[in-house]
Chains A and B, each alone.
Chain A
Amino acid sequence: MNLTLKIWRQKNANDKGKLVDYKINDVSPDMSFLEMLDVLNEDLINKGDDPVAFDHDCREGICGMCSLYINGEAHGPDRGVTTCQLHMRMFKDGDTIFIEPFRATAFPVIKDLVVDRSAFDRIQHAGGFISINTSGNTVDANTIPVNKHDADEAFEAATCIGCGACVASCKNSSAMLFVGAKVSQFALLPQGRIEATDRVLNMVKQMDEEGFGNCTNTGACEVECPKGISLENIARMNREYLAASLKG
């Protein structure tokens, strides 16, 4: 199929940037979206032009590195997939496809479609861990009984790959789904309870300092999340946060 791509081109963080049109022909419906961009880039390189910069790593939906806002949706029109798992069969011959970077003040553009998501790392550093001795005398996690339901919910929360599609989709650029998942994954388990109060206070504080917006509960994040992280995680974080604020 033949497509028109409207791609955001921006030389560096300070450049103003603009959408540039590209024609691409003979795209196979079996290609992944990123493979289609690889073909475009090869073409640009052969012509001596600057290839389009975009993020990717695993190309199998587990690392969270690929991003892109495709035709008005994070990771494009398919559900429960990352951009590397999006296939060209989701599009038709003759389509015009808008390809933009994830937009949020907290995710500044580095170049073209690449954004800096290290705000997520800083939120993780503020509390997304448990302090445990790993120097040879670790206790086997299975010796601590955990309710099956809680274990399942913690596991589901832990499947968040930190891609940032929730932020990109949210009209407020809120990071509540990501932080809710990271808070929940520990709050639900006995090992995580010990530092639960400080964790939620510190992570929310960092989230606010990074400049993410407030949650209006539109639910866009849950729909666009490639891992199906649910809004219940946000409600759990709200409970954890309110209880923690009362404690100290």
Chain B
Amino acid sequence: MSGIFNSSIGRKFAMALSAFFLMIFLLQHFAINILSVLSPDAFNSASHFMGTFWVIQYVFQPILIFGVIFHFVMGFILEIRNRNARQISYAKNNGSANSTWMSRNMIWSGLTILAFLVLHFIDFWIPEINTKYIQGDLTGLLPNGDFRYHEELVHKFENPLRVAAYCLAFIFLALHLLHGFSSAFQSVGANNKYTRGLRGFGKAYAIILPLGFIFIALYHHFNH
């Protein structure tokens, strides 16, 4: 077992595990966000539950933060090692002859996602932590007695610049996943008779989910 994560295959295995975790998390995040369009009340209760239930706050939230940090730090490590493996580049390289743009630019789609995550943290996570754990207000209520979550969300999507930034980030997430989804299966050694079907499913996941997030952002922007 020793040394596995010091090997090229082990690093990619760990990368794929963190990616699987992030892809499942993304599904869960979407399921809650779409409620904000379908039913503000349901969105409020779900948000309140997620924001105050201790298992989620103290167990899953730290795992998620670790997962995200692990994924991008490992992404940087792999990128540096891969660059070192070819110190002199080709004068002429025809990359598109044999591979997709997405597969060759995971670091750039990843960095765009990372920039978005910084904005996302400033927008939602830091205010949440401030309200709940610094000000100590765990009620989740506005002064008028309504839940605050839906109200806050709608307010965030008033600014067209923020909406544009969100949409752009989700396009890059789609590009990241268009290669990443099937790549993660290959990294854990799964390449068999199900691979073709899985690739199709991966493409659907990579396009539909980000489009869904874009829809939610645009919906709130234009609806209020």
Interface positions of B from 41 to 93, Cβ below 8 Å from A: 78, 81-82, 84-93
Segment of A29-37, A44-52, A71-79 engaged in the interface with chain B: A71-79
* Chain A residues with CB under 8 A of B97: 72-73, 77, 223
Given contacts A71-B92, A231-B186, A238-B189, contact A218 B12 (CB under 8 A): no
Chain B contact residue count (CB 8 A cutoff): 41
Which one of A8, A77, A218 lies within 8 Å of B100 (CB-CB)? A218
Stretch at the interface among B1-9, B131-139, B158-166, B216-224: B1-9
Interface residue? A214 (CB, 8 A):
yes
Q: With A and B bound together, what is the CA distance between A169 and B1 in angstroms? A: 32
- Residues of A with C-beta under 8 A to B179: 217-218
- Whether B8 pairs with A215 at a CB distance below 8 angstroms is yes
Q: Tell me the smallest distance from the CB of B20 to a CB of chain A, in Å.
A: 15
Q: Is the CB of B84 within 8 A of A211?
A: yes
Min CB distance B152 to A, Å, is 39
* A172 proximal to B (CB < 8 A): yes
Instruction: Apart from A219-B103, A223-B99, list 10 A-B contacts with CB within 8 A.
Output: A103-B89, A104-B85, A105-B86, A171-B95, A172-B81, A204-B7, A214-B81, A214-B82, A235-B190, A236-B191
Q: What are 19 sample pairs from A and B whose C-beta atoms fall under 8 A apart?
A: A71-B92, A72-B94, A72-B97, A73-B98, A100-B92, A106-B85, A172-B81, A173-B82, A174-B82, A174-B85, A212-B8, A214-B11, A214-B82, A218-B104, A220-B95, A220-B98, A235-B189, A238-B186, A242-B10
Enumerate chain B interface residues (CB-CB to A < 8 A). 1, 3-4, 7-13, 78, 81-82, 84-95, 97-100, 103-104, 106, 179, 182-183, 186-191
